Structure 1
Amino acid sequence: MSAELSPIEKAKFVAAKRASDMVENGMKVGLGTGSTAAWMVRCLGERVRQEGLKIKGVPTSTRTADLAREVGIEVIALDEAGWLDLTIDGADEFDAELNLIKGGGGAHLQEKIVASASDRMVVIADPAKEVAHLGAFPLPVEVIPFGWKTTRKLVEEMLEGMDVLGRDVTIRMNGAMPFVTDEGNHILDLHLLRIGNPRQLALVLNQVPGVVENGLFIDICDTVVIGHGDGRVELRDVAAGSVQQDSMEFAESENLFKDV
C-alpha cells in the first residue's frame, strides 16, 4: 500500500514515523492536527496495538481526538494531564530558528496551548515547509465572532506599522459561511508574503481587541523532523544545534494505510 503513496505523502509518513519512535511507554503526549500529524497518530496507534505501548494522548482538535480513539490511543483532556512529556505536530512553515506558522487546519489555538504545556515540541514536516522567511503561507489569527469586522479593521491598521510585504486580511470561509473553530471562533488569514520580525508581530497581534491567538509559534518548537519521499529523515535540534540524518523503511502494516 505504501508504494501507492505520492512522494509528498511518503515524506510526511517517514517524518511522522520517526517522530512517533520518540514516544516512550508511560508518556503523556500532545497529538497535533493536520495531514502530517494524522500519520503520526496512526503510527502511534500501530505501536499501541503491536507493541503494547501505553500512553495518554491529549488531542489538539476534535478530529484528532476521533482518530486517536479509532486507532486505540487513550485520550485525556489537557486539564487532566496537567503537563505533557512531548507534543508532536505539523507546521505550515518553519524557518532556520524553528519559528513556525501553524493554523492551516484551524486548530492553532489548542495546538499552541498544548505545545506550551509540554517539556518538548517536535514538529514533523516535508521539505516544502522550510522557508527562509515566514509569511508566504497566510498567517491565521483566531478572533471572536462578535465584531469580527471591527477586529479585522484594527488588524489591518496595526499591520501598517509592521515589517511585512503584504497586508491583505480575509475571513476564512467554510462554504458560504465563516469557518468556525472548535472553540466557536472565526479565523482571519493575513496574507503577509514575508514577515520581517515574527516575534514582534506575534506580540502585537495578541494586543488587538477581539484577537484570541495567532499562528506564530515563537520559541516553542525544539526539534523538527523533515521527511523525504525516498525515506530519508533529517532531525534538527535548535537547542543542541545538531543535525542528524536517518532513513526509514516503508514496510508498514495494512492497518496503517487502510484509510489512505
Structure 2
Amino acid sequence: MSFDDAIKALSLDALKNVKDGHVIGLGSGRAATALVKSLSKYIKTKKIAVKCVPTSMQIKLIAEKGGLELIDADQIDKIDLVFDGADQIDKNKFLIKGGGGALLKENILISAAKKVIIMADSSKFVKDFNRTIPIEVQPSARQIVWKKIERLSGKPELRTLDRGYPFFTENSNIILDCGFGVIKNPKILQQKLLNIPGVIEVGIFTRKPDIIYKAKANGKFEILT
C-alpha cells in the first residue's frame, strides 16, 4: 500500500459530495487527476449530470478523455464544488499552490466555490510554510517585481523548462518561485506580494478548505474538516 493507493481511495470517497446538476471546478495535480479519472464512471453509475470547469489544459485533456461535460468559467455564475490538491498545507489550513502553474484559475474557482475539497498526501502538511511561493508575473514587469521581492527578503528564481526556456502559464505570464524561509505570517506576506504592480497572482491561498483529505503512506486516508 502507498500514497497512490490512498489517493485513489480518498478520491472515490470525495466523490460522495457530487450531486446532480453540480458545477464542479477541477484542480490540477496528482490527486485531482485521480479524482477526475473516477468522476466519469461515478456520474454514469449514479445517473446524474454535472458540468466541469478545468483549471488547466492538463486536467482538461483528462476530463475530455473521460467524456465529462466541460464549460468555461465565464459561462457560469456559481461553482458548487472544487476538487484540488496543494503543494503545502499549514497549521491554519492555508495552502501553497501553483506548482503546476495554474494558480490564477485555481484561486478564481476556489474563491467562488460553495465548497472546497483539498486532497494531499501527508508529506504536504507542515506547521509553517517552508517551501518556495509561486508568483505569477506579467513578463514586462519581471525585473521590477524581482527587485521588490528581494526587498521583502525573498529569493526569486525564474521557473524554467528542462532546456532552460522560461515556463509560461496558460495566461502567457511567467512564474517566479520565491524562497522566504519559514513563513510565520502568510496572510501578511500574501498581501504585500499582491500589492506589487505586475504581480498577477500569489500561490498563498487563505480561503480555508471545507474538507481536507490527508493520504497516508499505508494506503489509508484521514478526513479533516
Q: Match for 1:203 among 191, 212, 216?
A: 191
Q: Is 1:145 paired with 2:130?
A: no
For the aligned residue pairs, the C-alpha RMSD in angstroms reads 1.4
* Residue 180 of structure 1: aligned partner: 168
Q: Is 1:192 paired with 2:180?
A: yes
More displaced 10-residue stretch of structure 1: 224-233 or 200-209: 224-233
The alpha-carbon deviation at position 34 of structure 1 amounts to 0.8
TM-score normalised by structure 1 residue count: 0.82
The alpha-carbon deviation at position 62 of structure 1 amounts to 1.4
* Residue 246 of structure 1: aligned partner: none
CA separation in 2, counterparts of 1:173 and 1:152?
Answer: 15
CA separation in 2, counterparts of 1:14 and 1:97?
Answer: 25
- Contact kept, 8 Å, 2:111 with 2:207, in 1: the verdict is no
Identity of aligned residues (%): 33
TM-score normalised by structure 2 residue count: 0.94
Q: Any stretches of 5+ residues in structure 1 without a counterpart?
A: 1-5, 161-166, 238-260
Amino acid at match of 1:170: E
- Contact kept, 8 Å, 1:125 with 1:226, in 2: the verdict is yes
Deviations 1:217-243 (A, max 9, x none): 103422211122434221111xxxxxx
1:1-260 alignment to 2 at 5 Å? 7-135=2-130, 137-157=131-151, 159-160=152-153, 167-174=154-161, 175-237=163-225
CA separation in 2, counterparts of 1:72 and 1:183?
Answer: 25
CA separation in 2, counterparts of 1:43 and 1:21?
Answer: 12
Matched residue of 1:75: which SS?
coil
- Contact kept, 8 Å, 2:3 with 2:219, in 1: the verdict is no
- Contact kept, 8 Å, 2:10 with 2:213, in 1: the verdict is yes
Matched residue of 2:148: which SS?
helix
Q: Any stretches of 5+ residues in structure 2 without a counterpart?
A: none
Matched residue of 1:17: which SS?
helix
Deviations 1:76-124 (A, max 9, x none): 1112121111101000000222100000011111000011111111100
Q: Give every structure 1 segment of 4 or more consecutive aligned residues whose post-TM-superposition deviation is greater than 3 Å.
A: none
- Contact kept, 8 Å, 2:149 with 2:155, in 1: the verdict is no
Equivalenced residues, count? 224
The alpha-carbon deviation at position 147 of structure 1 amounts to 2.9
Amino acid at match of 1:75: L
CA separation in 1, counterparts of 2:44 and 2:181?
Answer: 44
Deviations 1:13-61 (A, max 9, x none): 2232221221112111110011111001111122134333311111111
CA separation in 2, counterparts of 1:90 and 1:196?
Answer: 22
More displaced 10-residue stretch of structure 1: 177-186 or 18-27: 18-27
CA separation in 1, counterparts of 2:193 and 2:13?
Answer: 34
